[in-house]
Structure 1
Amino acid sequence: MRAVFDRVSSIIEDAKHKIAHTINNTMVQSYWSIGKEIIEEEQMGQ
């Protein structure tokens, strides 16, 4: 029974790491896009 618990715990931990990685990538992409929009808007106004 302990082996099953350990495998399930491992699956959950792996999922948590994947979720965190996906969220971090999405945040970086979002911030990059926001910065790009701001720069493009500033350049059009000059």
Structure 2
Amino acid sequence: MPTLFRLLAVLAVLCGLAYAAMWALANKVEPLQREISFTVPAEKIGK
């Protein structure tokens, strides 16, 4: 039974680290904004 608790504790810590990493990426990192423009071929417009 102690092995099960150890496994669950390790999994909980790993899930917490993954959650913290996703939170940090979502809230602390600003994406680079840039303008994107490209030409759309005429055959794609006329459908």
Same fold by TM (over 0.5)?
yes
- Measure how far apart 1:12 and its partner are: 0.4
Q: 2:3 aligns with which of 3, 6, 21?
A: 6
Gaps of 5+ in 2: 34-47
| Higher CA-based Rg | 2
Q: What is the count of residue pairs matched by the alignment?
A: 32
- Measure how far apart 1:31 and its partner are: 1.8
Aligned residues: CA RMSD: 1.5
Instruction: Give 2:19's aligned residue.
Output: 22
| TM-score (ref. length: structure 1) | 0.61
Gaps of 5+ in 1: 40-46
Q: Answer 1 or 2: which has greater helix percent.
A: 1
Percent of paired sites with the same residue: 3
- Measure how far apart 1:22 and its partner are: 0.0
| TM-score (ref. length: structure 2) | 0.60
Off by >6 Å, runs of 4+ in structure 1? none
